[in-house]
Structure 1
Amino acid sequence: MIAKLRIAVIGAGYWGPNLARNFDASPDWDLVAICDRDRHRAQLVADRHGGVRVVTALDELLAADDIDAVAVATPAATHHEIACAALAAGKHVMVEKPLADTASRGEDMVRAAAEAGLILMADHTYCYTPAVLKMRELVREKALGDILFIDSVRVNLGLIQPDVDVFWDLAPHDLSIIDFVLPGGLHPLSVTAHGADPLGAGKSCVGYLVLPLHGGAIAHVHVNWLSPTKIRQMIIGGTRRTLIWDDLNPQQRISVYDRGVDLNLQALHEEERSASTVSYRLGDTWSPALPEREALAAMVTEFAACIRENRPAITDGEAGLRVLAVLEAASRSLARPDVAGLIANDQRELIGETL
């Protein structure tokens, strides 16, 4: 039998209890402790799981020799400090999205994990859902053909966050999915962001991201805290088929349409392109059968497998950095509407020059 790994959850606010529940239920893990500055809040979570140890000081937690890994569920501004301290203490680390509050701090975390020979995993939860795993499979086996466009919508009547705008709050979900699905990850040629603050909240509450991709494709992400209806939808259009993911439709989360446009370019010269013929495909629609399971359960299983096999997670620190690169470029674009945020090929050298 393989000995269980021992985990502590840092942060007992909104997301921490969900992580604690899944680690406690996993056959791969022993939930050892809950760490939060608010002892009462931590105790409430600990009591749901057999009264595991409650710790209020991070140094005390990381000094313990009965902990192999930590899961960080705290505000993004604290991720760098906590993760680097945990890695220095010899603990593997999972961090909720976004990986950090700046790309440079995210790079520090990735570097520290590599130097220590430890696992750093980004909690990109959606990437572990059966639907998104199927989307990745269909895209990578070319069932959709070459990707032409990605259109993602994530809107709801949501809580206006005190520390981040709507891009940093909601877009990491969509960006992490796009990064996970596309072969080679998300490498946009540039990032253009448009945001609005109609309430006078001091930050964008409605936002649009435009991401030109290699090969002429384009991705568009719409996020909104002010919509009276909740929508979680992504459309991925290809040269062969188009896929629609509707996360709020459990009976049919994925629909694949054998429909599209074929452009037969018979003309050789640009001025003669009007001679080309256009045809429309109107084929079948099908929906793959998907298992219903909690994404977090699959994610904690992946975390354990990475540690035991000493391999990167499918949502590793590099994936977290690619998402951070887009978010930072979006912030620069918002600050200077006449400037698009450019991203270098390695996704780390962030440039702010006009296109």
Structure 2
Amino acid sequence: MIKIGVIGAGKWGQNHIRVFSELDCELVGIADTVQETAELAKNYGIVHEKNYTDLIPNVDAVSIATPTDTHYKIVKDCLLSGKHVLVEKPITLHSDEAKELVDIAAEKHLILAVGHLFRFNPAVLKLREILPELGDVNYITMRYIHSNKPPRKDSGTVFNFAIHLFDTLNFILDATPEKIFCKRVNYISDEREDCAMILLDYGGFVASIEVSWLHPLKRRDVWVIGSKEKVYVDLLNQKITKYMIEIHPDKTIDGGSTSIDVDQREPLREELNHFIDCCEHHKKPVNDGMQGYYAVKLCELALQSAEEGTEVAV
């Protein structure tokens, strides 16, 4: 049975701890600089270390849920110590650092996975499955919006929210855009964008993304408009509605709408279980380090576009 340690026991790290404790692995301990997390470890009957380097020797793999700007060093230290790694998204804040980590993992024959959770969302998996039924993709719109908590301090909405949607597009389309244009605004902070509108050009169609800390609603959703059918995907509630409507120059064929069955499951449980399986059987994760690299690269290009005020080639 694989031995796992969790580095970072904040709100999301605590979810990792909860799920790993319920899966077929040995949760050895947690590492967190906040002393109060020692009580959390005690509740689970596991080890608590203030320094993650003290946890590394006792595990086979680590799950990292620390602030983004710490990812590069912690992941690198773990890989160089011969440990498999799952790190929350983004893998790093710089694509060159992400690529370096990917190369280290490959050289040492280690698993490097990135927490791109939507790849394990049953609604996304179902959308990927039914996408060919929609005909040619005309366009896609996506939203990741909410204002139910204070904005993060380590990065803005592009690296926090849009990165999820970039990776989801890469996953369902199995393609990357040709060009990207981004417009961002700063109302809450001068350092990090609070809202961004992003347009991705795939050659034959476009995808638009809205990400925001300012919107009063909490939404994670997708519209895919196809030449034959259209679908709305509610990522939060894991629900899909298909609209059988065709728009022609001289007529509209409206076949009504229907709900698509989705086998609802907890995405984090699916992701962590997949990580364990990959580590034990040395299988390539669907959310491997290269996917994390691609997502970071698109974030960088989006911010470059916003800075330059022009469309950027991918």
TM-score (norm 1): 0.84
Cα deviation, residue 198, structure 1: 2.9
Gaps of 5+ in 1: 263-276, 344-355
Distance across 2 between alignment mates of 1:112 and 1:39: 32
Task: Give the corresponding residue for 1:164.
Answer: 155
Give the corresponding residue for 1:73.
65
CA distance in 1, matches of 2:92, 2:41: 26
Within 5 Å, which residues of 2 pair with 1:256-267?
256-262=242-248
> Aligned pair 1:219/2:207, yes or no?
yes
DSSP 3-state at the match of 2:134: coil
Q: Deviations over 1:235-269 (max 9, x none)?
A: 0122221111123446xx1011111324xxxxxxx
CA RMSD of superposed structures (Å): 1.6
Q: For residues 119 and 251 of structure 2, what CA distance do their matches in structure 1 show?
A: 35
Task: Give the AA of the match of 2:32.
Answer: D
Higher relative contact order (CA 8 A, sep 6+): 2
SS at match of 1:192: strand
Structure 2 residue runs without a partner (length 5+) = none
Give the percent of matched residue pairs that are identical in Structure 1 and Structure 2: 28
Larger Rg: 1
Task: For residue 169 of structure 2, give the secondary structure of its aligned residue in structure 1.
Answer: helix
User: How do 1:98-117 residues align onto structure 2 when only pairs under 5 Å count?
Assistant: 98-117=90-109
Offset from partner CA, 1:109-128 (integer Å, 9 cap, x none): 11111001011011111221
Q: When the two structures are superposed, what TM-score results if normalisation uses the length of structure 2?
A: 0.94
What is the DSSP-based 3-state SS (H/G/I as helix, E as strand, rest coil) of the residue aligned with 1:306?
A: helix
* Partner Cα separation in structure 1 for residue 250 and residue 103 of structure 2: 51
CA distance in 1, matches of 2:237, 2:47: 39
How far apart are the structure 2 equivalents of 1:11 and 1:86? 14
Q: Tell me the distance in 2 between the aligned counterparts of 1:328 and 1:320.
A: 13
1:203 aligns with 2:195: no
Within-5 A mapping of 1:264-343: 277-337=249-309, 339-343=310-314
Instruction: Provide the secondary structure at the position in 1 that maps to 2:123.
Output: helix
How far the C-alpha of 1:72 sits from its partner, in A, is 0.6
User: Distance between the aligned counterparts of 1:73 and 1:44, measured in 2?
Assistant: 18
State yes or no: 1:145 paired with 2:135. Answer: yes
**CA 47–341 in structure 1, closer or farther in 2 if over 3 Å, else same:** farther
Per-residue displacement from partner, 1:25-44 (whole Å, max 9, x unpaired)?
012x1111101122322x13
Counterpart contact for 1:39–1:54, Cα < 8 Å: no
d(CA) in 2 for partners of 1:193, 1:181 = 21
